[in-house]
Structure 1
């Protein structure tokens, strides 16, 4: 891409930008500040990296106007360099797929495939499934009956979409996801577990990202819902009837027990866990390895187990680190107290 094309791309996506430099320069790829060469684009948004910025040989730097004088390299002035970098990186690394179905794919007669759809080797598409225009279905994916996949979505290799799953537009399901498996519902009776059929669906909104080997269980009666613009990392477990609000972000190895409802724009650090049947308010941040055991009714940051407000948790951790010293001091005080008592009793 030329820098002029990049400028036009950003402008088309609503990014206000200004350029200084030679507009004819070609950009072949993105790179870090320290590694970027004359045909690579990078970004600067961290004051700690000023030294790298001064030394960079990048063909273009995405940078805020207030920082523009820090480099003499060609630059695009934008208010949010990281966001602009993401848009350019997407454009430079967009994979193209032919509109074709591999000869080994098994497509049910009643399934409907839109225009410009790619279907890879050994894909299975069930009865009455609908795959809209511009979708990519990679090798080995299983799309069961009555599944709906919205326009422009990507289904990675060996992904399973169980019966009646709904996937919105521009969704990215990375390799190995299982969406719509049976929820963990069993009734105990006389020492045995009796499986309860899970008859709800999984409904995924638009522009959702779900990472490798993540599982989302179908609802027991009502649907499990992943709302628009959610991003879910690899190896995450979302149990039956869970509802994630718009723009929720979940890091790897986290888990949500059944029937918990999470508000909009919440964030969950890696290996965090949320108990079942809870309500999480909008704008909650849960730190890594935290365990949420009760509903969180106020926005803000939470940490620890059981999760409490992060400021209190940090204070308590400081106190915990002082326990050994406090224990030693208590032993000294106990000895002094015993000696004082003995002295007083002797006088009596």
Structure 2
């Protein structure tokens, strides 16, 4: 691991801790944050934990003009023994570097990044909520800071980690959400940046999200960018379908984000001797399964929501209500099992959790 030193400056004015029912998602932040700088020719340097504060940027900083940025999302929990628990954090740091490579951002040393996160969490432990369905959301991100309007990779960057105590991502919680199938806009195409967690992907998706919310839906289901036929992912989640007893999820194809939760759910389902198939699946096939009564469940997976049952799809002016709009048996079992493993309440046979 890098011999970089982390300097620590503690705040003199701690914020009041919110009540669990005030959390929501991503609106409250802890007292401290991690920052590290990059300079071409020098590498990553000046690692520090400091009081949470605004970012100061030159108006010509490349992030503001060309969107050269990447980010990650993971969570920390408190176990019954008051240990800090992380879920597969090394996978998030690996994916951060894969995303960085796609948009020409220099890699961070993954072991040091995890060390920095661990030190930050030790300082902010009292911010980890304990109530049911709450956690401490972790947002590592890197962005270009060089003040230069030429279109080229930045020569300077900042890597930051912020923490936010959160409740359920969707207001529905574990109740099924309604998803609109997007037929006009596309999220990504082969050869694009769809498999990278870069800010531009999400900026491009906002218009469809806004349109869906106006119609009473929580999220958008994206179809492939070439034929607008094959299922890719939901705006904040990978997606799974239970059809005739078997589980189907779109295969990774270069334009779908490789979710850490997605991979974990596949492994968990297979450990239960369930058939899980990763393949191309058209929404017409999903609709046909619905018409025939074979579409038994649908659910999304992701760090923010963990497992989110899908109770309804809106497609071609038709409402497809799944499982009478109720949470399915598999969705509930997956949620209870995965969150139990994440919090240390259930034995972890996979070695996924990291105890601090």
Q: TM-score range by the shorter chain?
A: under 0.3
Scaled by the length of structure 1, the TM-score of the pair is: 0.27
Specify which structure has the bigger relative contact order, considering alpha-carbon pairs within 8 angstroms and separated by 6 or more residues. 2
Scaled by the length of structure 2, the TM-score of the pair is: 0.26
Q: Give 1 or 2: higher helix fraction.
A: 2
